[in-house]
Amino acid sequence: MCLRGDWPSLFRQYLHRPDAYASKFQDGYYDSGDTAVCDRDGYYWFVGRADDVINTTGHLVGPFEIESALLEMAEVAESAAVSAPDPVRFEKVVVFVVLRAGVAPSRELESRIRMHVANRVSSFAAPQDVVFLAAIPKNSSGKIMRRVLRARFLGQDVGDLSTLEPSGC
């Protein structure tokens, strides 16, 4: 999504990185780094970050698409999707799911989650791994901390957690 780069509240620089700032502009337009689609009625719909995609079997899938599909399920309260290395797919889809009160994790629910994503997004977006959590880690502004989820899934160091909201996992 590109916008005219002339509104008053537009940020003025990346600290000590003028080249990075300049790279965001072309022909008077600011490249937000977001992907959006325009529907028949002229409404724009956010798809996700252009640099935050999962390359699975040569197909690019946005985590936002997968998460939105999961939130359509009555059993799902929250969700997050990340990629993990895979020797066959290049990257596989891993989803983290917080269930609504009174819903218990099960293999049957995992299968339904996979089928729902396959039907709503596409078969290549269906998660290879489903992880049930009590809470999705988010920063203080509510952004999902995907790097934390990915690191925990891969058994790696999660790094700095100082921006994690108190209710995060």
Q: What is the pLDDT of residue 167?
A: 60
| DSSP code, position 138 | B
Q: Is 30 helix (H, G, I), strand (E, B) or coil?
A: strand
pLDDT tens per residue across span 107-122: 999 999 999 999 999 9
CB neighbours of 123 closer than 8 A, spacing ≥ 6?
none
Q: What is the pLDDT of residue 50?
A: 65
Pick 142 or 109 by higher pLDDT.
109
- The fold for domain 52-154 equals GMP Synthetase; Chain A, domain 3 (3.30.300)
Q: Which of 73, 52, 63 is nearest to 95 (CA)?
A: 63
pLDDT tier at 2 (50, 70, 90 boundaries)? confident
pLDDT tens per residue across span 51-87: 678 889 888 888 989 999 999 999 999 999 999 999 9
pLDDT tens per residue across span 6-49: 788 888 888 888 898 888 888 888 888 777 788 899 998 876 67
Is-above-0.85 flag for pTM?
no
Report how far residue 164's alpha carbon sits from residue 145's, in angstroms, rounded to the nearest whole number.
8
Taking the CA atoms of residue 165, residue 167, residue 168 and residue 169 in that order, the dihedral angle to the nearest 10 degrees is 150
Report how far residue 130's alpha carbon sits from residue 69's, in angstroms, rounded to the nearest whole number.
14
Name the residue ranges covered by the structural domains of the chain: 2-48, 52-154
CB neighbours of 121 closer than 8 A, spacing ≥ 6?
61, 65, 66, 69
**Cα radius of gyration (the chain):** 18
Structure tokens, 21: 């700032």
- Show the CA angle centred on residue 93, arms to residues 92 and 97, nearest 5°: 150
Q: What is the pLDDT of residue 66?
A: 95
What are the E-state strand segments in the chain?
2-4, 25-26, 29-31, 34-38, 44-49, 54-56, 59-61, 76-86, 90-99, 129-132
